[in-house]
Structure 1
Amino acid sequence: MTLQGGEATLVLPTAVKSSDRQHAQLANERGLQLYKEKRYADAAEQFADALKLRPDFALAANKLGFVYYRQGRLAESARWLENTLKIDPSRAVAYLNLGDAYAKAGDSRQGAQGLFDISGIAATR
Structure 2
Amino acid sequence: MPTFSNQQIADAKSKICAAYDLVLEAIAVNTNKQSPTASDFAAQYAIAANSRLALYGGGGYLLDQLAAEPATPPDLAQAVKAAAARYREVAITYLSERPESPQHPLTDSLQEVTMRVDGLCK
Same fold at TM > 0.5: no
Instruction: Output the TM-score relative to the length of structure 1.
Output: 0.35
Instruction: Output the TM-score relative to the length of structure 2.
Output: 0.35
Computing the radius of gyration from Cα coordinates, the structure with the larger value is 1
